[in-house]
Amino acid sequence: MSNPANLKYTASHEWVRSEADGTISIGITQHAQELLGDMVFVETPAVGRKLKAKEECAVVESVKAAADVYAPVSGEVTAVNGELNNAPEAINTDPYAAWMFRMKPDNAADLSALMDAAAYQAVVDSEAH
Amino acid sequence: MLIFERSHPGRRNAAQAPHHSAAASGIPAALLRQDQPLLPEASEMDVVRHYTRLSQKNFSIDTHFYPLGSCTMKYNPRACNTLAMLPNFLARHPLAPEATGQGMLACLYDLQEILKDVTGMAGVSLMPMAGAQGEFAGIAMIRAYHEARGDTARTEIIVPDAAHGTNPATAVMCGYTVKEIPTDANGDVDLDALRAATGPQTAGLMLTNPSTLGVFEKQIQAIQKIVHDAGGLLYYDGANLNAILGKVKPGDMGFDVIHMNLHKTFSTPHGGGGPGAGAVGVAQRLLPFLPLPVVAKQDETYRYLTEKDLPQSIGHLSAFSGNIGILLRAYVYARMLGAEGMHRVAEFATLNANYLMAELHKAGFTVAFPQRRASHEFIVSMKPLKDATGISAMDVAKRLLDKGFHPPTTYFPMLVPECLLIEPTETESKETLDAFVAALKEIRDEAHATPELVKGAPHTMPARRLDDVKAARELDLAWKTPA
């Protein structure tokens, strides 16, 4: 599965999708879910929580390990995907559909600092060694 | 199947039934229970067969090579069990007066002295009941030290990314926030990152040396200087003490507090959830904060120190005096080895790991840090095999069971993809190590020729591949009476 070209990415393996209402959706990438393996729990941030860029704000736990998920930019949490509580395996089956939470960025311009699909793929390739 | 599920109403085991009637025990009638306790009803033979079969299903150090990295699954000498189970140790009540327990107190005092000597620390408390509690005691002492000095702005504990997960968990349990620092390409702590992370907010650094990457942290002197210059203290995680036992002392490396897993390094039974023993050692400045009770020797008499003696102690960690039975086993082990024997433990643990690493490297396996000498453990990555055949480190681990070997630790540390963390320990022979190499080579051949055979492993065990997602999501730990 390749990384969708319409998304932005972080070096800590989150993907970011800009929504029509000005919010962004955040999930973890194909590469991240592959490394972690079968998901067993997801913990999402509280709606209304104010986050700073790179702040730990969610947790994904697999049969192998627990990993933190970081806020890609500063902003406020506007929604969480409650379906993942009962079906965390959705992250394994379709990581780019399984959004974890939405944020309203403090500054929309911050998004331009995130990586595109090609730059993110280079990060993934460099980690393979 | 549980013994409860073998229960049949009316089956008795008269020879094992309690001898004392309730009346003889002196318990007032009003306090006696009126209904029968829900205990399994089984004959002696049912019980013997049940537990014998369970023990036959067990994969243990008594039956198999058990190279579980970072766990130090070494042989438990039978003499330790025999001596720790002397009737006068077993029958002693924890509330019996110290005057009647001088022998046991002498053993505990000597064990404290031996651990002080072998680690280079100024004081030892044997009280923590397991490794995690030892870690907790260690960081609680660091906190007590800073607070006693009124130095309360220190809120962070630095932990390298190669650390055991218990380290950040301990720091958080003690009220600190965790600052993670990366490891460089050689497996050492990234010194620039450490410098950047250290400051007036630093309470301490938790370090495992040798690290979980199976290499000795060469820059330890620079690390201790950076942390101490900033006013922080150094915590030594004793997980890998076996590699350096008696050779290098954490006290000499500049550590202020250490915990030792006696169930690893000092060969007491390990696994299955305990009991463990996580003794802590401290440098001079942390002596007042040791957890109680500590055994002291005054003239020729032994006694427990209390809050009166150590008013700044972090306190008691359990109702009585730690896991005495385990401490006695560790004491016997230490006395059997002597100082010279402890050097041999470190030498042979390291030799076995390096031999195994060299043989696997020669056989074409990918060693994570081939340029470094292994400590007592090392990492092999199965990533090339996975890329070529789809067979993962987990598949290899499961197939090893069919070949008569307990698998090494898998997928830890997470810094190396598809990794096996292999720790043979000093108690294994060259023949066993060679057989393990041969088994891994066979599995690699099978991965190419008959990958389904490896993916379906284990084939010979009482339980096949478990549904680990279901096990994690639907925990089922307590047996309930069928409705």
| pLDDT, tens digit (0-9, with 9 covering 90-100), for B48-65 | 999 999 989 888 899 999
Asked if the model's pLDDT at residue B16 lies above 80, the reply is no
* Cα-to-chain-centroid distance, residue A64: 19
B351 and B263 in a common domain: no
Report CA-CA distances (Å) from B235 to B130, B134, B151, B209, B284.
17, 11, 18, 10, 14
CATH label of the domain that carries residue A68 = 2.40.50.100
Check CB contact under 8 Å for A40 and B411: no
Q: Which of B337, B360, B390 is the last residue of a domain?
A: B337
Domain count, chain B: 2
B429 and B281 in a common domain: no
B212 and B100 in a common domain: yes
B394 and B311 in a common domain: no
Asked if the model's pLDDT at residue B18 lies above 80, the reply is no
Look at B151 and B95; give whichever has higher pLDDT.
B151
Give the Cα separation of B116 and B375 in Å (integer). Answer: 22
Q: Which residues contact B455 (CB under 8 A, 6 or more apart)?
A: B390, B391, B395
Each residue of B231-287: pLDDT tens digit? Answer: 999 999 999 999 999 999 999 999 999 999 999 999 999 876 678 999 999 999 999
Judge if ipTM > 0.90: no
B312 and B195 in a common domain: yes
Q: Is any Cβ of chain B less than 8 angstroms from the Cβ of A123?
A: no
pLDDT band at B73 (very low <50, low <70, confident <90, very high): very high
> Of all helices (H) and strands (E), which one includes residue A62?
strand A56-62
Check CB contact under 8 Å for A35 and B417: yes
pLDDT at B20: 61
Which residue segment(s) compose the domain that B95 sits in?
Answer: 81-337
Residues of A in contact with B468 (CB under 8 A): 38, 63
Residue B128 C-alpha, separation from nearest chain A C-alpha, in angstroms? 27
B276 and B238 in a common domain: yes
Residues of A in contact with B411 (CB under 8 A): 64-65
Nearest to B414 among A41, A61, A65 (CB): A65
Asked if the model's pLDDT at residue B22 lies above 60, the reply is no
B353 and B328 in a common domain: no
- Whether residue B58 is contained in a domain is answered as no
B167 and B279 in a common domain: yes
Which residue segment(s) compose the domain that A90 sits in?
Answer: 8-111
CATH label of the domain that carries residue B465 = 3.90.1150.10
Residue A61 C-alpha, separation from nearest chain B C-alpha, in angstroms? 10
B155 and B95 in a common domain: yes
Each residue of B382-405: pLDDT tens digit? Answer: 999 999 999 999 999 999 999 999
Report the alpha-carbon angle A18-A21-A26, nearest 5: 35
Question: Average per-residue pLDDT in chain B?
Answer: 93
Q: Which of B337, B368, B395 is the last residue of a domain?
A: B337
Asked if the model's pLDDT at residue B168 lies above 70, the reply is yes
- Whether residue B40 is contained in a domain is answered as no
B281 and B176 in a common domain: yes
Kindly identify which residue of chain A lies nearest to residue B394, measuring between CA atoms. Answer: A64
Asked if the model's pLDDT at residue B483 lies above 80, the reply is no
- Whether residue A2 is contained in a domain is answered as no
B406 and B363 in a common domain: yes
Asked if the model's pLDDT at residue A54 lies above 60, the reply is yes
Question: pTM for this structure?
Answer: 0.88
- Whether residue B46 is contained in a domain is answered as no
Domain count, chain A: 1
B236 and B161 in a common domain: yes
- Whether residue B31 is contained in a domain is answered as no
CATH label of the domain that carries residue B255 = 3.40.640.10
Q: B267 in the Ramachandran plot: left (φ > 0), alpha (ψ -120 to 50) or beta?
A: left
Q: Is any Cβ of chain B less than 8 angstroms from the Cβ of A128?
A: yes
Q: Which of B318, B337, B356 is the last residue of a domain?
A: B337
